[in-house]
Amino acid sequence: MSVSRRSFIAAAAATALVEAQTPETPLTAGKVIELIRANVGVPWRETTVDTIKSGSPETPVKGIATTMMATLDVCQRAAAAGRNMVITHEPTFYSHEDKTDVLKDDPTYRFKQEFLDRNNMVVFRFHDHWHAHQPDGIATGMVQALDWGKNVDPQNPRQFLFEGITLGELARQIQDRLKVRAMRVVGDPRLPVHTVAGNWGYAGSLRPFARQGLDALIIGESREWELTEYAADTITSGVKRGLIVIGHIPSEQAGMIHCANWLGTFIKQVPVEFVAAAEPFWSPNAPPA
């Protein structure tokens, strides 16, 4: 019995040693997505844009880059840094659903796709569920970047309360803190502002600006012949209100900084970092560096 017991203990110790020395199974893109789904805190939708846009779920991941938009420039910088999985908030191939059937002969699409293939990169979109996360991951990052935690309306996390800052001062504060090159503002710069709403990203309806009790609305972008025209007519009619258009990338970028920090709490095997998407616009008064 004692010999058998000793043999069993020795065999178990040897097995444990072998197991300890066995290299860890590589982290694949599919496993990263599984970890995201397990940690995001909301049910995964059957219909969603949050899917792989390029590459294979079986690809071993060497490093992860989060970004607001997986532009070619972002993908090139991620690859140069050894980050072969890009987690992007917005589309990679120029439409909400990243449909590429009409792009197969387009030289820009082909150049980008061939770069991704050549560098064995995976691009995964994280949009619907990052917004659905509680609290909204994009909104949380934007509040952090603007340092508006003390201004958040307790009744509405997308609304901010100020003590009479002017529309012009508010716009300058946003521009300075987010480093926006090409902001546009509709309304009287002297307008005292108390209640401000943040519609991060695309504003696709008139409702956010039409809401009663609002002094100013911040958006990423809209169709100029819809919301912007409506805002101009509203102000011309005598309503005291302002619209601040900061561009889609600046309006959600900080949310993907927050995403990188969040991913780092449960992905330890590979480095995770944020790679900024460049603001595409510039003003003659503030040309690109």
What is the model's pLDDT at position 288?
79
Band of pLDDT at residue 247, cut at 50, 70 and 90: very high
Q: CA 61 to CA 253: how far, in whole Å? A: 23
Do the first three CATH levels of 29-134+252-274 and 150-246 match, i.e. the same topology? yes
What is the model's pLDDT at position 74?
98
Give the number of residues written for the chain. Answer: 289
Q: For residue range 96-119, what is the model confidence (pLDDT) as tens digits?
A: 999 999 999 999 999 999 999 999
Give every CB contact of residue 235 below 8 A, 6+ residues apart in sequence: 186, 187, 188, 241, 242
Strand 216-221 versus strand 192-202 pairing type: parallel
What is the model's pLDDT at position 82?
98
Q: For residue range 135-193, what is the model confidence (pLDDT) as tens digits?
A: 999 999 999 999 999 999 999 999 999 998 999 999 999 999 999 999 999 999 999 99
In the chain, domain spans: 29-134+252-274, 150-246
Asked whether residue 285 carries a pLDDT value surpassing 60, the answer given is yes
* Residue 79 · residue 146 · CB < 8 Å: no
Asked whether residue 19 carries a pLDDT value surpassing 70, the answer given is no
Mean pLDDT of 17-24: 40
Band of pLDDT at residue 16, cut at 50, 70 and 90: very low
What is the model's pLDDT at position 171?
98
Mean pLDDT of 110-131: 98
What is the model's pLDDT at position 85?
98
Asked whether residue 212 carries a pLDDT value surpassing 60, the answer given is yes
What is the model's pLDDT at position 1?
38
Does 29-134+252-274 carry CATH code 3.40.1390.30? yes
**Alpha-carbon distances of 126 from 174, 203, 255, 260, rounded to whole Å:** 25, 19, 11, 12
Is the bond into 23 cis (omega within 30 degrees of 0)? no
HSE toward the beta carbon, residue 74, CA cutoff 13 A = 28
Question: For the ranges 18-22, 50-54, 162-166, 217-221, which has the lowest average pLDDT?
Answer: 18-22
* Residue 100 · residue 120 · CB < 8 Å: no
What is the model's pLDDT at position 287?
77
Instruction: Supply the angle between the helices 107-118 and 72-80 in degrees, to the nearest 10.
Output: 20
**What CATH number does the domain located at 150-246 have?**
3.40.1390.30
What is the model's pLDDT at position 190?
98
Report the mean per-residue pLDDT for the chain: 92
Mean pLDDT of 249-254: 98
% of the chain surpassing 70 pLDDT: 92
* Residue 187 · residue 242 · CB < 8 Å: yes
